[in-house]
Amino acid sequence: MMRIDLAGWTREATQGDPRAFFALFDEADRLGFDGVWFSEFRLPTADWPYPSPLLLAAALLARTERLRVGTSVLVLPLHQPLLLADEIAQLAFQSGGRIDIGVGRGTEPATLAALNIDAAETRARFERHCIVLQAQAAHVPLYVAGSTPETLGFAIERDLPLLLSLEPPETTQLGHVADILQGRPSTLLRRSSLARYVCIGTDAASVQSQLDGLWAQLQARREFFAARRGVPPDQVPRIEPERMLREQFIHGDPAQCHAQILALRARSGIDALRCVFNANGLLDNTQALAGMTLFANEVLPALREPA
């Protein structure tokens, strides 16, 4: 049975009335999704209202019955690990164990500078703090997000499952994992989690209409984040729709989405999928909820069947 979670509510996608925002996840709980994942963006320069995913998790866990809440990710170099382990343990206790902790190294220069953290020290801090969390919160599921051979090798050494990225897609990460494992048997990938944009509709025309409206927005967002790294727009690769559909999307009517998820599972060996119905905030919550509802009614029941 596959685990099907939600993701994509980050940065500007979290803006708006908190009551309506929380109600969206009440509905996700009712629809039968397994969990939802939120990111950590400390000291944001924009109006992003939930810099702390653990505080957000506490609120959602208090009002839902079965939905798990995960962090994707906690930026470990920013935290004192023993205090963080205490907070995580409290959340696990008061929610009946419905918390998942994804951790990462983080690379936001402005946040590191504001907290007087040397960027050159973040890898060592991440590894030390992760080891503390693994020991102090051993009963809480712990995942590692990373793209470099060093981070992936650390996760494999500690037998920690991975949160594989949506952008860029996970192909390079899986290649590094294969190189590190060198054919050795491991359950790590089966316990890991993939992410995909999900574009679902009742017919081909409705799906195509959704997709046609996304490509220019995805390109603009790609250029925005490249500019923050000092890359001018003319040096940013153009969106290739066919490639993105192949590597980053689940799309089509319910039967097509179901078939693509099963193929992805067979190809990757991974049993958990983080579904992004809102295109990371490019679609509003009404559009996202419509896709979530159709998916829950028509696709989830088939995915719940034993493999």
Residue 307 banded pLDDT, cuts 50, 70, 90: low
Mean pLDDT of 183-207: 97
What percent of the chain has pLDDT above 70? 100
| Spatial contact of 65 and 29, defined as CB atoms under 8 Å apart | yes
What is the rounded average pLDDT for all residues in the chain? Answer: 96
Mean pLDDT of 61-84: 98
pLDDT at residue 47 in the model: 87
Mean pLDDT of 278-305: 96
Residue 225 banded pLDDT, cuts 50, 70, 90: confident
pLDDT at residue 306 in the model: 73
Between CA 110 and CA 123 the distance in angstroms is 17
pLDDT at residue 206 in the model: 96
User: Could you tell me which residue, 307 or 84, shows the higher pLDDT?
Assistant: 84
pLDDT at residue 93 in the model: 98
What percent of the chain has pLDDT above 90? 93
Q: Is the pLDDT of residue 163 over 90?
A: yes
Q: Name all domains of the chain by residue range, CATH numbers in brackets.
A: 3-303 (3.20.20.30)
Residue range 34-69, pLDDT digits in tens = 999 999 999 987 889 999 999 999 999 999 999 999
Q: Is the pLDDT of residue 115 over 80?
A: yes
User: Could you tell me which residue, 281 or 46, shows the higher pLDDT?
Assistant: 281
pLDDT at residue 55 in the model: 98
pLDDT at residue 133 in the model: 97
* CA 41 vs CA 5, 118, 138, 153, 226: distances in Å: 21, 18, 25, 25, 18
User: Could you tell me which residue, 278 or 225, shows the higher pLDDT?
Assistant: 278
DSSP string covering the chain, please? Answer: --EEEE----GGGG-S-HHHHHHHHHHHHHHT--EEEE----S-SS--S---HHHHHHHHHHH-SS-EEEEEEEEGGGS-HHHHHHHHHHHHHHTTS-EEEEEE----HHHHHHTT--GGGHHHHHHHHHHHHHHHTTTS-EEE---SHHHHHHHHHTT--BB--SSS-THHHHHHHHHHHTT---STTTTSBEEEEEEE-SSHHHHHHHHHTTHHHHHHHHHHHHHHTT--GGGSPPP-HHHHHHHHEEEESHHHHHHHHHHHHHHH---EEEEETTGGGTS-HHHHHHHHHHHHHHTHHHHTS--
pLDDT at residue 109 in the model: 87
* Stated pTM of the model: 0.96
Mean pLDDT of 152-174: 95
Residue range 141-155, pLDDT digits in tens = 999 999 999 999 999
pLDDT at residue 259 in the model: 98
Residue range 232-258, pLDDT digits in tens = 999 999 999 999 999 999 999 999 999
Measured in residues, the chain has a length of 307
Mean pLDDT of 161-165: 97
